[in-house]
Chains A and B, each alone.
Chain A
Amino acid sequence: MQDKTHSSYKQLEQKSKYTNMFLRWFLYFVLVIFALYFIFPLYVMVVTSLKTMEEIRQGTLLTWPSGLNFDSWLVAWGGRGYGAGDTFLKPYFWNSIKMVVPAVFFSTFIGAMAGYVLTKWRFKGDKWVFLFLLFGCFIPYQAILLPMARTLGVLGISNSVIGLVLVHTVYGIPFTTLFFRNFYVSIPSELVKAARIDGAGFFKIFFKILLPVSTPIIVVTIIWQFTQIWNDFLFGSTFSFGEAAPIQVALNNMVLSSTSVKEYNVDMASAIIAGIPTLIVYVLAGKYFIRGLTSGAVKG
C-alpha cells in the first residue's frame, strides 16, 4: 500500500465519487417504487369514491373522476333516507367512538400503573407477574372468544358498547403494560427514592414525577391501542350485533349485505370513513410515535 502515488489516490477518489452517486440514485429509485406501490390502493379508493356508478362502469380503475362528486360519501355516512334496510355508518361511527375512547383511556392508564409498579415498587414474584402479562400478548384473539362471551353474559353486558370497552381494555393491558414497563425501566429509580424521602406517596410519585415525563410512551400507547381497537373486527362481530355494533362490523354488513347492484363508490367512501380516525391520530401524533419508540428515558 505504501507505494501508492498521489495520482492513484486521485483516481480512487473519483471512482468512489461515481459509486456513491450511483448508489444514491438507485436508493431514490427504489424508494419511489415503494412509495407508489403503497399509495396505489389509496388512490384507487379515493378516485372510485368520487365517481358515479356510470363512470365506474365505463372507465378503468385508474381513470380520473369527471368531477368532485361527494354523493357516495353522503350516502355512506347518512344513508338514502328510506326506512328499513338502509344501512349507513353514522350511528356505528359513534358506537366506535364511544367504545374506543374509554377503552384506550382505561387500558393506557392501567398499563401505566402496572408498568410503574413492576419497575419502581418491586415485590416478590414481580418477574412472574410480568411474564404472565407478557403471555397475554401472545394469546390469539380466537382463543378467548368463548370464555369472554360467557364472562360478558354473566356480567350482563353482552351486546353492548360497555361490554366491548371491557374486552378491549382487558386485552390491551398486556401490551400497554409492556410499553410502560420498558419505558419506566430506563427512568432512574433514584427519582422514586428522592421523592419518597421528600415525603411523596405511591400515587403522588406516579402522578407528579413519572407521568409528566411519560408523554412519548403515552402517545405510543394511545396510537397503538386506538388503531387496534378501532380496526378490530373479530371482537366487534362476536360480542355485538345490530345497533351496538362498531363501525368495522357495520362496514362489513353494508358491503356484503347489499341486495341490489354493488355500489363500489359508496363502499369505497365507507371504507375511507372507517379508516379516517386512525389516519388523523397518526398525523397528529406520528412524530411522537417514532420518537417514543426509539428514545429511552428523560436524562437528568
Chain B
Amino acid sequence: MKTLKIEELSKNFGSTEVLRKINLEIDEGNFLVLLGPSGCGKSTLLNIIAGLETINEGNVHIDDYNVSKVEPKDRNIAMVFQSYALYPSMNVRENMIFGLKQAKVSKEKIEEQLEKVSKFLQVDALLERKPSQLSGGQRQRVAIGRALVREPRIFLFDEPLSNLDAKLRVEMRREIKKLHQQLKTTVVYVTHDQTEAMSLGTNIAIMNHGVIQQNDTPENIYNKPSNTFVADFIGSPSMNLIKGNLKESSNKVSFITHGSNIEIPINGYDFKEKSNLDNKEVFFGIRPEHIFFKKSNEEDFEINLRADLSEYIGHEQIMTFNFENQEVLAKFPSTVKIDLSKNTKLFFDLTQISLFDAKTEERI
C-alpha cells in the first residue's frame, strides 16, 4: 500500500499546460521533496494533492483510496504555507484548534492534542498571543503545530522556509528534519532550494515544465543525474558539461572535445547501453568538486588547463579554467595558490563523471 499515489495526472490553466502526465508514489514515512525552478508546476501539484486545485486528467490516491474528488478537509492531510497563513484575528490556541473544532472533535480530545503538540513544539507559552505578536520562527512553529494537531496521514509543506532569514532557515530546516525523524509521518515538501531538498528529502522529484525529470534518492540525483537539466540544476556551482565526441576502438571508450587531441579514457563508466558509442556527440559532465589539484587516486586523469578566474568565498575558492574555449569550473580549498593565466596541472576523478547524449540531453 502506497501512502500517496499519483497516476497520469495532467493539469492545465486555460490553454497553458501546467502538469503533464505526472506519476508519483510515496511509501509510508518517506519525505518527498518536489524541487524545481519557479513556474515548474511543483506548487500546483502540491495544491492538487491537497485538493485545493481540480484535476483535468488522472487520479490521486491516498492509502489506496481515490481522493481525486474528495474535499480537502476529508483527505486526511495538513498543509503548512509559505506565508504561514495563520488566521490574524485568532490567537495561537484558536489557530491551532480551528480545524479540530470544525471536525467536531470532543473538547477533551482537543485540549489533549493541543497540550501535546504545543509542548512538543515549545509554543505552549505563546497560546494566548496573536500571530502579529510572534516572530517569524514562532509563526512557523505555530503553523506546523496547526498541521500537527490534526494527526494527518500526509504533511504538505509549501516552501515553508522561504520567508525566513538565512540563519533561521538553517535552524528551522534542522527542526523539520528532527520532526520527521520523530514522527515518521509521510511528507511532501515543495521548495526551489536544492540544499533544503538534499538535506531533508528521502526522495527528491525534480520538476521542469510540468514534467518530473528525475525521482530518486538525493545520492542518485547528485551522482547520477538522469539528464542535463538535473545535472545543471543540482550542485553549486553546477556540473561542468563539456561538449565533445566519444571514440570507441578495440573495446576502449574515450572522450575527445572539439579541437583537442586530449583523449579522456572512460572505461570505468557504467553505460546504460553500450552500443553505437563511436563518434557519438555527448556532454562530458564532471562536478567542480571532483576536479583536484593533486592526485587523489590512481584512476585520476591528469590534464593541463589555463586558469582564468578565481572567486574567493572564504572556506573555498571557485576557479575557472579554459578547456578548448569551454569553461571548466573547479572547487578548491582557499589555501591553495594557483597562478592565473598559466597552465595548471589538474586531476579529473573519472569515477564520478556523467555522460549525456548531446541531442536528447539524456544520460547514457
Q: List residues of A whose CB falls within 8 A of some B CB.
A: 188, 190-191, 193-200, 204, 208-209, 212-213, 298-300
* Residues A190 and B85 in contact in the complex (CB < 8 Å), given A197-B77, A199-B73, A299-B132: yes
A194–B73 CA distance with the chains assembled, in angstroms: 10
Chain B residues within 8 Å of A212, by CB:
88-89
Contact of A300 among B79, B86, B99 (CB under 8 A): B86
Task: State whether A198 and B102 are in contact (beta carbons under 8 Å apart), knowing that A193-B52, A193-B79, A298-B132 are contacts in the complex.
Answer: yes
Q: Which residue of B lies closest to A211 (CB)?
A: B89
**Pairs across A and B, CB under 8 Å, 18 listed:** A190-B81, A190-B83, A194-B81, A195-B87, A197-B99, A198-B98, A199-B103, A208-B87, A208-B89, A209-B87, A209-B89, A212-B89, A298-B88, A298-B132, A300-B86, A300-B88, A300-B134, A300-B139
For the A-B complex with A199-B99, A298-B88 known, give 17 more contacts whose Cβ atoms are closer than 8 Å. A190-B83, A190-B158, A191-B85, A194-B81, A197-B51, A197-B99, A198-B98, A199-B102, A199-B103, A200-B102, A208-B87, A212-B88, A213-B88, A213-B89, A298-B132, A299-B132, A300-B132
Residues of B within 8 A of A (CB): 47, 50-52, 71-73, 77-79, 81-89, 98-99, 102-103, 131-132, 134, 139, 146, 158
Query: In the complex, what distance in Å separates the CA atom of A190 from the CA atom of B99?
Result: 15
- Beyond A196-B72, A209-B87, A298-B88, is A190–B102 a contact (Cβ under 8 Å)? no
Q: Check A300–B131 contact: CB distance below 8 A.
A: yes
Considering only CB atoms, which chain A residue lies closest to B77 in the complex? A197
Q: B132 to A196, Cβ gap below 8 A?
A: no
**Nearest chain B residue, comparing its CB with the CB of A192:** B85
Contact A193 B98 (CB under 8 A): no
Q: Kindly provide the distance from the CB of A219 to the nearest chain B CB, expressed in whole angstroms.
A: 16
Q: Are A188 and B83 in contact (CB under 8 A)?
A: yes
Residues of chain A within 8 A of B52, CB atoms compared? 193, 196-197
What chain A residues lie within 8 Å of B98 (beta carbons)?
A: 195, 198, 200
Bound Cα distance A200, B90 (Å): 14
With A190-B83, A191-B85 known as contacts, the answer to whether A197 contacts B139 (CB < 8 A) is no
> Which residue on chain A has the smallest CB distance to residue B130?
A300
Q: Is the CB of A194 within 8 A of B88?
A: no
A198, B73: Cβ atoms closer than 8 Å: yes
Name which of A191, A196, A197 has the most chain B CB atoms within 10 A of its CB.
Answer: A197
- The CA of A138 and the CA of B226, in the complex, are separated in Å by 59
Among residues of B, the one whose C-beta sits closest to the C-beta of A299 is B132
Are B99 and A198 touching (Cβ within 8 A)? yes
Provide the bound-state CA to CA distance between A188 and B81, in Å. Answer: 11
Q: Which residues of A have CB within 8 Å of B86?
A: 300
Min CB gap A292→B, angstroms: 16
A197 B73 Cβ-Cβ under 8 A: yes
Beyond A191-B87, A209-B87, A300-B84, is A197–B50 a contact (Cβ under 8 Å)? Answer: yes
Determine the chain A residues whose CB is within 8 A of the CB of B50 once the complex forms. Answer: 193, 197
Alpha-carbon distance between A63 and B79 when the two chains are bound, in angstroms:
72
Given contacts A300-B131, A300-B132, A300-B139, contact A194 B102 (CB under 8 A): no
How many whole Å from A218's CB to the nearest CB in chain B? 13
Q: Are A197 and B72 in contact (CB under 8 A)?
A: yes
**Complex Cα spacing A298 to B133, Å:** 12
Interface centre among A194, A204, A212, A300 (most CB of B within 10 A): A194
Given the complex of chains A and B, what is the CA–CA distance between A212 and B84 in angstroms?
18
Q: Which residues of B contact A190 (CB under 8 A)?
A: 81-83, 85, 158
Contact at B85–A188, with CB atoms within 8 Å?
Answer: yes
Most B CB within 10 A of own CB, among A191, A198, A200, A212: A198
Complex: how many Å from CA A185 to CA B99? Answer: 24
Contact between chains at B89 and A194 (CB < 8 Å): no
Nearest Cβ on chain B to A192's Cβ, whole angstroms:
9
- Which B residues are in CB contact (< 8 Å) with A204? 102
Expressed in whole angstroms, the minimum distance between the Cβ of A250 and any Cβ of chain B is 42
The smallest C-beta distance from B48 to any residue of chain A, in angstroms, reads: 12
Q: Which residue of A lies closest to B82 (CB)?
A: A190
Cα A110 to Cα B51 in complex, Å, equals 29
CA distance A212 to B73 in the complex (A): 23
Q: Of all chain B residues, which has the CB nearest A209?
A: B87
Q: Does B132 lie within 8 Å of A194, measured CB to CB?
A: no
Shortest C-beta distance, B96 to chain A (Å), equals: 10
Smallest beta-carbon distance A117→chain B, Å: 17
Shortest CB-to-CB span from B88 to chain A, Å, is: 5
Minimum CB–CB distance from A232 to chain B (whole Å) comes to: 34
